[in-house]
Structure 1
Amino acid sequence: MTQDFLGLDGRVVVVSGAAGGGIGTSVTRMIARAGATVIAVSRSPENLEKHVAPLTAEGLAVVPVAADAATDDGIALVMKEVGRTAGDLHGLVNVAGGAAPSTWMPSTWMPSTRVTRADWRALFTQNLETMFFMSQAVAAELTSQGRPGSIVSISSISGMNSAPLHIGYGTAKAALVAATRTMAVELAGDGIRVNAVAPGVTETPASGTYVDEDAERDRRAIAMGRRGRPEEQAGAILFLLSDLSTYITGQTLLVDGGLNLKWTHLAADNTSLFLKDESFRAAITR
């Protein structure tokens, strides 16, 4: 006799930011394969056609919705689709956010002394408001139905540490972590869990526009010696979304291959760059 520990059969999950071809698309596929019906949300009809349509062609229960989660009208459209989709609403994954490739230079990468109000507000709208108001809508629907559920949002390693020259993005992602903790407390009594995942450097179409291939650099910077894959982030999200994590709430899970563990003064062999005695370095690494 087998047991479904994920517990997603017959449930409906919204994925906001499902069609970028990276983490959102990977988690949409994984959740659908786990038995849920996924409301796959993207503001880009072209991306839905490119990345989500193939999932429906596979026979997966994925419902594409072209809507902007940064607007009230977009959220209302998503919730209308939820209402007419068969199954019990269970949860939400907030992937929408980041920094659009067209704005990476110079609008989001700059010294903090040069950040404008427009830059700041755009990043907070894209990364914090989309998460909060989409979460608010799903949580309100769950409570009105008297149903438990799970909300998982994407933060970033930049929101867990300093983010030099990227302060708007890093601060917005840190605020997302704070919102996650507070919503977790408020919603716990209704049986709704709220958690986040903070990815490290992950191989996605978006990151590919500014991170090149450099295996030696990755080996030096990341404890596991390589960048993450979208499906590895999706696995962590699925865990927090599922019944495998029913006693976890208000947490942010770093999924970074140990990037945060590597001090900046460590060499590729994990010895300090400040060691000048090579014979000592050799002795301690034998």
Structure 2
Amino acid sequence: MLRRLAKFAVAVTVAGPGFSKAIGDDEAARWGPAGGVSFLISAAWAEGEAQERGVVVSDADAKDATRDPHDGLTRQDRIYEARINLINAALHAPVGQAAAQSVTQPQIDAYVQSHPKFEPERRYLSLLRTRDRHTAEAALRALKRGLTFAAATRRYTNAEGGKIAVRPGEIDPRGLDRAIFKAPTGKYLRYGTDVFRVRFIGPPQPLPIEQQNASAWEVLASDAQEQAIAAFDAQIAAKWRPRTTCAPPELDPAKCGNPPTVQ
């Protein structure tokens, strides 16, 4: 492709009212590993659309958003890439905002009804934390023989008995947490230096409706924004493709309108 491209001083021209951008064959070749001509055409479309809509990105903002050069691109290339990313973000922002605001309460209610969210089960424990494994084993034997939990706590930990309620991930997720949520109720067990008994299990409870509504809105708004931005990008492509002339056509047929015939 590059051999054919070399026949043309200009690989692509994008021209609209008050806007014209020529992409040279050397530029197209340089950008090959980083999106190639496809990126450069989309970038020119973004620049033209930004000019028509009065969207401006400052040099300072583009430089601040620039990543380190790579793929053979210069720092100026990376600044240009950052500018295009900021332009696209500015073009998409009002589209996404309008889409998010279009989500209705009936949509939220329907989503909550079909995707209910619950707090995980809560386990109510008697937990005795000892200084070493030997002490934990002695405490477990004593509890199984009938020693009260309060007495075992005083004898083996010098602390008051610990009766707590936990949800998954709230206590030592590396191991004890898993042991607690696999354990049956009413039986003293040891895990490392800890001795515990699950007294009873609180079943999962629905999250407060305000939290469920907020979560549903985030999902629905994100979906609406994604669809709206995709439709917006399709409209931009339909608008600017006829304004794009490529040589030769195999550079990117999906983005080139009326490409010249290669002689």
- Same fold, TM-score > 0.5, yes or no: no
Higher RCO (CA 8 Å, separation ≥ 6 residues): 2
Higher helix content, 1 or 2: 2
TM-score (norm 1): 0.19
- Higher-Rg structure is 2
TM-score (norm 2): 0.20
